[in-house]
A = this chain, B = another copy of it.
Amino acid sequence: MDRAERAFSDLKTHLAEIEDLDRIESLLAWDQQTIMPPKGGAGRAEQLATLTKLIHERLTSEQTGRLLDEAAPFAEGQAYDSFEASLIRVTRRDYEKARRVPTELATEMARLSAQAYPEWVEAKHQADFSRFLPFLEQQLELRRRYIACFEPAESPYDVLLDDFDPGMTTAEVADVFATLREGLKPLVAWVRERADAVDDGLLHGQFPIDQQRQFALAVIERFGYSAEAWRLDPTEHPFASAIGIDDIRLTTRFDESWVNQGLFATMHECGHGLYEHGIDQALDRSPLAEGGSLAMHESQSRTWENIVGRSRPFWRHFFPSFRDTFPEAMEGVDEEAVYRAVNKMQPSLIRVEADELTYNLHIVLRFELEQALLAGDVKPAELPEVWNARMRDDLGIEPPDDGQGVLQDVHWAIGLIGYFPTYALGNLIAAQLHERAQADLPDLEAQWAAGEFGQLRHWHQSHIHRHGRILTTKDLLERIVGGGLSAEPLLRYLRNKVSDLYGEPPATAAA
């Protein structure tokens, strides 16, 4: 073994321990948000802080830098997507990004987010933007300082975007989002006038939680869930967590009087879980054993929640057991009625409750406002007014107060600026991938109607999941669809769905 090879082997061991600590951090957070006794909170915060500090210390240590330098020759000449070249490339990137941010700034960011969170909760509750304003101003200031730690980019926003989707630029996102908005606005306006043609009242009623859980489990077991390597637990805000490739923990929230929420949240989180569970075991205990980007991750959750879960063939298969699980609520209801109900489209105020069609406009709005705030083109104090005007313009509705408007999301309170785009990019990529999957697997929908989802899962696993962080969003799209981001597949998908539910829109609406 030569020096570089030995350094690579040491680097692998060093990173394996950091990855163990990362997984442990996920377990602590999962436990905190599902089953921890309430009074355990104070101690848990200390445990998490210690772990975060340790992970940061180890990643940014001189040792990491030295091993990266010494191991570099070992990966030279190896393929871009080899384990060796990828481990060094991805770790070098993580290392350099982490080293650029002074501990003092990182601490200040963590402290401000912890302070701002309860203030945001109160401000939202009281619909009082002025209460939140000073925290938003401070968050923007810290983000500007954060951005200043890095080489100047084409747009300052690029630096933030890069944290969630490596290599993705503001210009690229702005381009597809503009197309998306342009395509969606007339369609939304047309649907708004006839939204009531679809009745989703049947999703409200009495749906006992135990039965909801049983039905949701039966669904995701067909998707790939198994008790051998997964869990499903209740929580307040659903999420998926990978404690290991073979220890996937989904969380969800069932509402006894509204069956929609728990079922679709479970399918959504299952999509995230399938990604983490599908990573090549050879990447285990390395920083490559995670999803490639938040946008790719979201493409997976949206595939299973929307493209599969809101499809006709899905309900062809599952409607009979759905009816048998909820015989009273489903009395006199047929498959078609359920299919229409779970797809009802109507402009609404709250992003997380929005339908597939209008959802993306909520994101484009946030993406553009974030850039304007960072650039100083919109002053934080002007935000409610700008927000409301934009809601009127895009969706034809206006929030009655800021609690249902600009204050609705937690992201800005905890410093997550640049994160929102990943949600719409996920929808967009899911549609791009699905057109390719349909071309590769022509009888996909017939399989779903027969309750078979293995081919679709396998397609995603072999094209996306197994690569972990070896390939970026761009790499994956280039390999799978032979190009970059495109809004067209999503627009095609949504136009089809609109036609199916509300009839053919006029040419002016389908611009």
Asked if A51 contacts B20 (CB within 8 A), the reply is yes
Q: A20-B47, A21-B50 are in contact. Are A40 and B243 (CB under 8 A)?
A: yes
CB-based contact A44/B231 at 8 Å: no
Residues of B within 8 A of A50 (CB): 16-17, 20-21
Of the listed residues A27, A40, A44, A244, the one surrounded by the most CB atoms of chain B closer than 10 A to its CB is A40
Task: Tell me which residues from 26 to 77 in chain A have a Cβ below 8 Å from any Cβ of chain B.
Answer: 27-28, 31, 35-40, 42-44, 46-47, 50-51, 53-54
Is the C-beta of A229 less than 8 angstroms from some C-beta in chain B?
Answer: yes
Is A439 in the interface zone, CB < 8 Å from B? Answer: no
Closest Cβ neighbor of A227 among chain B residues: B37
A24 is an interface residue with CB less than 8 A from chain B: yes
Whether B284 contacts A37 by the Cβ 8 Å rule is no
- Residues in chain B near residue A268, CB distance under 8 A: none
Contact of A39 among B20, B27, B39, B229 (CB under 8 A): B229
Q: How far is the CA of A413 from the CA of B427 in the complex (A)?
A: 55
Docked CA distance A53–B24 (Å): 14
- In the complex, whether A228 has a CB less than 8 A from a CB of chain B is yes
- The digit string for A232-266, where 1 denotes a CB below 8 A from any CB of B, is 00000000000111111000000000000000000
Please measure, in the bound complex, the distance between the C-alpha atom of A35 and the C-alpha atom of B28, giving whole angstroms: 14
Out of B21, B23, B44, B244, name the residue touching A244 (CB < 8 Å). B44
A230 at the interface (CB under 8 A from B): yes
A302 at interface by CB-CB < 8 Å: no
Q: Kindly report which residue of chain B lies nearest to residue A20, judged by CB atoms.
A: B50
Q: Which residue of B lies closest to A34 (CB)?
A: B35
Q: Is the CB of B37 within 8 A of A231?
A: yes
Q: Is the CB of A27 within 8 A of B31?
A: yes
- Chain B contacts for A38, CB-based, 8 A: 228-229
Q: Answer yes or no: A466 CB below 8 A from chain B CBs.
A: no
Q: How far is the CB of A11 from chain B (nearest CB, A)?
A: 16
| Complex partner residue of A37 from B20, B54, B246, CB under 8 angstroms | B246
Does A124 have its Cβ within 8 Å of any Cβ on chain B?
Answer: no
In the bound complex, how far is the Cα of B285 from the Cα of A50, in angstroms? 11
Give CA–CA (A112, B324) in the complex, Å. 54
**B-chain residues with CB within 8 Å of residue A227 when the two chains form the complex:** 37
Contacts A20-B50, A27-B31 known; A43 to B231 CB distance under 8 Å? no
How distant is the Cα of A50 from the Cα of B31 in the complex, in angstroms? 20
Chain B nearest CB: distance from A420 CB in Å?
Answer: 32
> A2 CB to closest chain B CB, in angstroms?
27
Residue interface bits A215-236, CB-to-B below 8 A is 1, else 0: 0000000000001111100000
User: Are A247 and B23 interface neighbours, CB within 8 A?
Assistant: no
User: In residues 387-417 of chain A, which contact B (Cβ within 8 Å)?
Assistant: none
Whether A37 contacts B230 by the Cβ 8 Å rule is yes
Are B20 and A243 closer than 8 Å at their CB atoms? Answer: no
- 25 CB contacts below 8 A, A to B, read A16-B50, A17-B54, A20-B47, A20-B50, A24-B47, A24-B51, A27-B27, A27-B28, A37-B227, A37-B228, A37-B229, A37-B231, A37-B247, A39-B228, A39-B247, A40-B244, A40-B246, A40-B247, A42-B246, A43-B243, A43-B284, A43-B285, A44-B244, A44-B247, A46-B285
Per CB-CB distance, the 5 closest pairs between chain A and chain B, nearest first, are A40-B247, A43-B244, A39-B246, A20-B50, A39-B229
Given A40-B229, A43-B244, A43-B285, 18 more A-B residue pairs with CB atoms under 8 Å apart are A16-B50, A17-B53, A20-B46, A20-B50, A23-B43, A27-B27, A27-B47, A35-B231, A37-B228, A37-B248, A38-B228, A39-B229, A40-B243, A40-B247, A42-B244, A43-B243, A43-B245, A43-B246
